[in-house]
């Protein structure tokens, strides 16, 4: 029988200050059993949800001790008995919930998503959360047609940028709300149709921005007053989808907005969608997203990368504002 191998993991034993609670530890990784694969991780990003988990402030927290990291990319190093659709050397997206901040892991082969050859390592590591979140929100809540407008806050975030790229790919138009004026030209260059500042009264004259039609879909990652501004932009019968709460503040939907404007408020969590959707539907989604990543249509900005031994530094950087993109661990 093959012997377990040792790998390093980023682990937490308590919740608290993110950079203080992470530890780098050695763990044994057993050989893959029947229907399983051993994956050697290549890279994994640090997402806002990961930071919230380290703080103990996420909606669903893991049992401790835990290895965080809700997405990444790895290469199949070894296949267990009965694995036929994956081979050694194939790049894969590991299953959700396995904890990707580690050098190696074992997972069920049927739960891994094969990725095409030639993908950029860092972009492949970030394919599991931001792109499918943007894709499903644009697809599942409002029947949008080419030329329709979508309004979103946090437009400079990873999801926000994916919304801009996917919307442009589909012929949709985006009204993008940001907090920093210095990102306006950058977002316009990648396809944003309109970019406004959070503290501007843009909601008072949406028609002047869009040329007439009001957005029927709003995407909210902030909450608080920012979400209220998005609601004021929507057309009658429009829908506001909340997928994040950066401000950690709730928001109110007025009775008049619900009665006379028939506005709808929904929520979206991509982890739940992946868990509940049929396996083939999930695979089909990534089969649509992967080519857009490969040809550069869909890209998530990268700020910096860190080796696993500098976990605390990586977490500290990922927690800072004003970054130019995501922070990632690079394992190889």
Rounded distance between C-alpha atoms, residue 10 and residue 319, angstroms: 16
Nearest to 156 by CA among 122, 105, 190: 190
Characterize the bridge pairing of strands 239-242 and 264-267.
Answer: parallel
243 classed as catalytic: no
Question: What distances in angstroms separate CA 197 from CA 181, 191, 323, one per listed residue?
Answer: 7, 17, 18
Which run of H or E residues covers position 108? strand 104-108
Neighbouring-strand partners of residue 150: 174, 217
Neighbours of 31 (CB within 10 A): 14
Rounded distance between C-alpha atoms, residue 1 and residue 254, angstroms: 65
Rounded distance between C-alpha atoms, residue 125 and residue 73, angstroms: 4
CA terminus-to-terminus distance, the chain: 27
CA dihedral (73, 77, 79, 84) in degrees, to 10, reads 60
Residue 209 makes CB contacts below 8 A (sequence gap 6+) with: 175, 194, 196, 202
Give me the catalytic one of 19, 25, 55, 58. 58
Which run of H or E residues covers position 185? helix 184-189
Neighbouring-strand partners of residue 173: 149
What helix, strand, coil percent values describe the chain, rounded to 5?
35, 25, 40
Helix (H, G, I), strand (E, B) or coil at 217: strand
Angle at which helix 279-294 crosses helix 130-140, to 10 degrees, equals 110
Q: Would you name the residues annotated as active-site residues?
A: 58
């Amino acid at each position: 029988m093959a012997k377990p191998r040792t790998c390093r993991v980023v682990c937490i034993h308590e919740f608290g200050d993110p950079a203080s609670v992470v530890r780098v530890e050695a763990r044994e990784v057993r050989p893959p059993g029947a229907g399983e694969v051993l994956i050697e991780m290549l890279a994994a990003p640090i997402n806002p949800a990961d930071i919230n988990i380290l703080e103990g402030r996420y909606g669903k927290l893991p049992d401790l001790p835990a290895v965080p990291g809700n997405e990444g990319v790895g290469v199949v190093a070894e296949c267990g008995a009965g694995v036929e659709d994956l081979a050694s050397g194939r790049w894969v997206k590991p299953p959700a919930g396995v904890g990707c901040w580690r050098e190696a892991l074992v997972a069920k082969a049927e739960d891994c998503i094969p990725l095409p050859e030639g993908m950029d390592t860092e972009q492949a590591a970030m394919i599991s959360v931001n792109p499918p979140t943007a894709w499903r929100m644009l697809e599942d809540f409002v029947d949008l047609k080419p030329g329709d407008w979508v309004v979103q806050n946090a437009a400079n975030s990873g999801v926000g940028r994916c919304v801009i790229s996917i919307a442009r790919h589909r012929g949709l138009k985006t009204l993008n709300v940001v907090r920093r004026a210095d990102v306006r030209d950058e977002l316009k260059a990648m396809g944003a149709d309109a970019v406004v500042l959070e503290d501007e009264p843009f909601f008072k004259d949406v028609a002047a921005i869009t040329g007439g039609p009001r957005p029927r879909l709003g995407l909210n990652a902030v909450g608080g007053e920012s979400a209220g501004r998005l609601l004021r932009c929507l057309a009658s019968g429009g829908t506001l989808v909340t997928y994040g709460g950066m401000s950690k503040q709730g928001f109110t939907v007025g009775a008049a907005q619900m009665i006379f404007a028939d506005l709808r408020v929904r929520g979206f969590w991509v982890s739940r969608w992946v868990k509940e959707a049929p396996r083939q539907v999930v695979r089909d989604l990534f089969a649509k997203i992967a080519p857009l990543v490969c040809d550069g249509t869909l890209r998530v900005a990268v700020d910096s990368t860190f080796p696993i031994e500098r976990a605390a530094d990586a977490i500290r950087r990922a927690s800072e504002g004003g970054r130019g993109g995501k922070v990632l661990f690079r394992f190889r």
